[in-house]
Amino acid sequence: MFYTQQPQLTVATLNHPKNCQKKFNAKKREIMDVINQIISQSAIGTLSNWYKSVVLLVFSSIVVTLFTMLVILLANASHLTTNFSYLFNGNI
C-alpha cells in the first residue's frame, strides 16, 4: 500500500489569506442559509420576492430608527429631566 503524505497544517497555512477568505465565505453562506430558512418558514415565505424585500426593508428601517433613538437617548441622558407628576395629579 502506498500512503500519500498529507500536507502539514501550520499556523502560517491556516492564516493564509486564501484560507481566511474560504472560512469567511463558508460562514457567510451558513448565515445566509439560516436567514433564508427563517424567511421561507415565516408568514412572508410564500409571497413574491419584491414583497419580501419591502417587508424586510420596513422592518430594518424600524430597527435602525429605534437603535438610533436609543443611542441619542443614552448620549444625552445627563441633560434629560423627567417629571412623573401627571401620574399622581401633583399629590406627592
Q: What residue numbers bound the domain in which 66 lies? A: 45-79
pLDDT one digit per residue (tens) for the chain, 92 residues:
455 665 555 555 555 666 777 888 888 889 889 988 988 898 888 889 899 899 999 999 999 999 999 999 999 988 888 777 777 765 65
Q: Is residue 43 packed enough to be buried (19+ CB in 10 Å), middle (13-18) or exposed (0-12)?
A: exposed
Q: How many domains does the chain have?
A: 2
CA atoms within 13 A on the CB side of 76: 9
Do residue 49 and residue 28 come from a single domain? no
- The answer to whether residues 52 and 39 touch, using CB atoms and an 8 Å cutoff, is yes
Residue 53 lies in a domain: yes
Q: How many residues does the chain have?
A: 92
Do residue 50 and residue 69 come from a single domain? yes
Residue 63 lies in a domain: yes
Kindly report the pTM of this predicted structure.
0.56
What cell was used for 23? Answer: 472560512
Do residue 35 and residue 52 come from a single domain? no
Query: Which residues lie closer than 8 Å to 19 by C-beta, 6 or more apart?
Result: 13
